[in-house]
Amino acid sequence: MSTAIARTNPAVLVPVAAFAALTMAYVATNARTPHPDASGADVLAYTTAHAGLINAGALLLVLSAAPLAIAAGLIQRVLRGPSIATIGGALAAGGLTFSALFSWAGGRLNDAAAPELARAVADLGFLSGGPAYAAGFGLLAVGIAIPALLERKLPTWLIWCGLAVAAAAALSTLALIVSAFTFLLPVVRFGGLLWLIAVAVVLSRR
């Protein structure tokens, strides 16, 4: 059994590294995207002036979904845990995919479009890549951390960090009804990314 794990584990780091690289490239490309509280007029002005950046960001975002789903499946296989990790990874990847599609659609709006339409499309992209992604990633974190806690397959500090990410992900979904919880979304996005990288590094060295 140890031989099989040794052969499988190094592969975990590859999709996680790809996901991290694509995520950071997306963030750099869309650094000036209007915030969720921006007006429809501001959103429309940005999309009409930066259609190329929006399309590039949508491509990077949809490309990042595949390595995330693959990484979730590989980690679940290595840890021999329940399929909740794979399901969570698939849901998070789905959130990224839909966010990319809404982003691309928003980038096609022209000056004649209604600002309300631009705001609505941007909201759909935010909800898909924000709360929906966080909910899926929270399941992924739980699906990794709980089996690792029961079987002692990861360092204790890393397990508790995973559970903290899962808790933050659960609370971040409340942003749908209370905007004050929106600050947790980047915590899940980037804190969860760092945690996933750490998990992959640990597993690759076993």
pLDDT digits (tens, 9 = 90+) for 70-126: 999 999 988 887 789 999 999 999 999 999 999 999 999 988 899 999 999 999 999
CB 105 within 8 A of CB 95: no
CA-nearest of 86, 96, 95 to 141 is 86
State pTM to two decimals: 0.91
pLDDT category, 8, cuts 50, 70, 90? Answer: very low
Q: Is 32 helix (H, G, I), strand (E, B) or coil?
A: coil
- Both tokens of 136, joined, read 């899926």
> How many Å apart are CA 116 and CA 42, to the nearest integer?
11
Residue 202: what pLDDT? 92
pLDDT category, 10, cuts 50, 70, 90? Answer: low
CA-nearest of 110, 109, 141, 142 to 125 is 109
